[in-house]
């Protein structure tokens, strides 16, 4: 790109990236307000200090709304990636406030929802298992010769599960075009990473699976964008599964109910100095890519968009009790793009796919 100013991105794009960072932070700040007002049904899992990992990674993928783009499996701390893939702010707030209008109709109260056309699928709760699911989805991309990659986020603690290892090995052996983002935020609830693994960087595990890996400063949105762009290029070119480790710190407790009193406050203070929004804003101004007023406007717009979306969500009805029994069991099977072979049952004709 001839008018690129950094990392192959042009001026409008580097400013756009800042807007997405603002949106991730503003959405979570609005959630905290909603919780204080009594609107949030479950807990809130902040990604404070981790926003650049989710945003930079998703920005490097092909996001389309017609079911032909790349595919994301987000975690609760990767809401920035979810927004980039087209998960709407309204749906985000509807989920947390368990509205009857939410994608899960009030059954679930954070980012556990999916949209196959936009290309994202929220996590099932047992940690590690989405790696197996995404290995299957991306295997179908390879078998069909589709030019698509998948991306799955998981924290450092999730790497201690059997599903994580099994899924990663399968993805590696099957050369699935899958990028594993390791959110190395140094804590898994109250367990520090050194009690979860003997290695100091998760990239040390990659040779054991025979996959490519990079470790990157997860507070630097452009560095993340570059690392994931490289990983996606390798995966698209037939290089198989890739790992990208995001190095950063969980600056809040596991969730709002966790006072984080097992973490040294001085360490948290050190990481506050590496705030991804502050760092990136300073760089945009220093390099002359954006004026302070322009960036202030990005923040204000993000706050206003979140305020409006939250207002819509809380004005909507709670779930209608009897609906709880709907959408639980079905005898109609909908083939999905990754369904390998499917023989329709003549007794049970299939509806057309939406």
Residues contributing to the site for ligand TPP (CB under 6 A): 77, 125-127, 155-158, 161, 183, 185, 187-189, 250, 254
Binding range to Mg ion, per CB under 5 A, among 96-104, 151-159, 226-234, 295-303 = 151-159
Judged by phi (left if over 0) then psi (alpha if -120 to 50, else beta), residue 179 lies in: beta
Nearer to ligand TPP, 163 or 178 (CB): 163
The entry of ligand TPP, Mg ion, none near residue 256 (CB within 5 to 8 angstroms by kind) is: none
Question: Which residues in 287-296 are b (16+ Cβ under 10 Å) and which e?
Answer: eebbeeeebe
Nearer to Mg ion, 157 or 212 (CB): 157
Task: Indicate the residue whose CB is closest to ligand TPP.
Answer: 155
The entry of Mg ion, ligand TPP, none near residue 177 (CB within 5 to 8 angstroms by kind) is: none
Residue with token string 């990236």: 17
Distance between CA atoms of residues 133 and 147, nearest Å: 19
CA dist 43 → 40, 95, 98, 117 (Å): 7, 11, 12, 28
Binding range to Mg ion, per CB under 5 A, among 22-30, 156-164, 223-231, 343-351 = 156-164
Q: Please state the closest distance from residue 127 (CB atom) to ligand TPP, in A.
A: 4
Nearer to Mg ion, 83 or 249 (CB): 249
The entry of Mg ion, ligand TPP, none near residue 306 (CB within 5 to 8 angstroms by kind) is: none
Nearer to ligand TPP, 159 or 229 (CB): 159
Nearer to Mg ion, 22 or 246 (CB): 246
Question: Which residues in 165-184 are b (16+ Cβ under 10 Å) and which e?
Answer: bebbbbbbebbbbbbbbbbb
Nearer to ligand TPP, 79 or 277 (CB): 79
Q: Please state the closest distance from residue 178 (CB atom) to ligand TPP, in A.
A: 18
Please answer whether residues 54 and 81 qualify as being in contact, where contact means their C-beta atoms are separated by less than 8 angstroms: yes
- Residue 155 within binding range of Mg ion, rule CB under 5 A: yes
Residue 320 buriedness (CB in 10 A; 0-12 / 13-18 / 19+): exposed
The entry of ligand TPP, Mg ion, none near residue 125 (CB within 5 to 8 angstroms by kind) is: ligand TPP
Nearer to Mg ion, 76 or 98 (CB): 76
Residue with token string 């760089």: 283
Q: Which two tokens stand for residue 181?
A: 């983002």
Distance between CA atoms of residues 32 and 26, nearest Å: 10
Torsion of the alpha carbons at 213, 215, 221 and 227, rounded to the nearest 10: -30
Please answer whether residues 100 and 318 qualify as being in contact, where contact means their C-beta atoms are separated by less than 8 angstroms: yes
Distance between CA atoms of residues 157 and 296, nearest Å: 36
Q: Please state the closest distance from residue 63 (CB atom) to ligand TPP, in A.
A: 23
Q: Please state the closest distance from residue 327 (CB atom) to ligand TPP, in A.
A: 23
Nearer to Mg ion, 129 or 229 (CB): 129
Site string for Mg ion, 38-57 (x = CB under 5 A): --------------------
**Of 124, 44, 116, 50, nearest to 81 (Cα)?**
50
Q: Please state the closest distance from residue 47 (CB atom) to ligand TPP, in A.
A: 8
The entry of Mg ion, ligand TPP, none near residue 253 (CB within 5 to 8 angstroms by kind) is: none
- Residue 185 within binding range of Mg ion, rule CB under 5 A: yes
Interacting residue ranges for Mg ion, rule: CB under 5 A: 155-157, 185, 188
């Amino acid at each position: 790109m001839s008018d690129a100013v950094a990392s192959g991105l042009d001026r409008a794009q580097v400013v756009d990236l800042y807007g997405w960072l603002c949106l991730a932070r503003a959405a979570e700040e609005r959630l905290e307000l909603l919780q204080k007002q009594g609107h949030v049904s479950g807990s809130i899992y902040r990604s404070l200090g981790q926003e650049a990992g989710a945003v930079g990674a998703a920005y490097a993928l092909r996001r389309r709304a017609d079911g032909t783009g790349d595919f994301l499996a987000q975690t609760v701390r990767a809401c920035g990636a979810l927004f980039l893939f087209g998960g709407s702010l309204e749906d985000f707030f509807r989920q947390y406030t368990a509205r009857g209008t939410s994608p899960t109709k009030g059954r679930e109260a954070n980012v556990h929802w999916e949209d196959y056309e936009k290309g994202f699928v929220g996590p099932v709760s047992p940690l590690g298992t989405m790696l197996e699911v995404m290995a299957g989805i991306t295997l179908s991309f390879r078998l069909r010769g589709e030019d698509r990659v998948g991306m799955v986020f998981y924290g450092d603690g999730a790497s201690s599960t059997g599903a994580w290892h099994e899924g990663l090995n399968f993805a590696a052996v099957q050369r699935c075009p899958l990028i594993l983002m390791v959110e190395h935020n140094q804590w898994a609830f109250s367990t520090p990473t050194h009690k979860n693994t003997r290695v100091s960087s998760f990239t040390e595990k990659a040779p054991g699976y025979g996959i490519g890996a990079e470790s990157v400063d997860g507070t630097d949105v452009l560095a993340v964008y570059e690392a994931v762009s490289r990983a996606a290029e390798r995966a698209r070119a037939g290089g198989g599964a890739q790992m990208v480790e995001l190095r950063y710190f969980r600056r809040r407790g596991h969730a709002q109910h966790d006072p984080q009193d097992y973490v040294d406050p001085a360490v948290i203070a050190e990481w506050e100095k590496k705030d991804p929004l502050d760092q990136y804003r300073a760089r945009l101004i220093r390099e002359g890519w954006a004026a302070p007023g322009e960036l202030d406007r990005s923040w204000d717009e993000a706050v206003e968009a979140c305020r409006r979306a939250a207002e819509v969500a809380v004005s909507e009805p709670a779930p209608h009790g009897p609906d709880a029994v709907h959408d639980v069991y079905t005898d109609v099977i909908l083939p999905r793009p990754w369904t390998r072979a499917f023989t329709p049952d003549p007794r049970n004709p299939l509806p057309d796919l939406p």
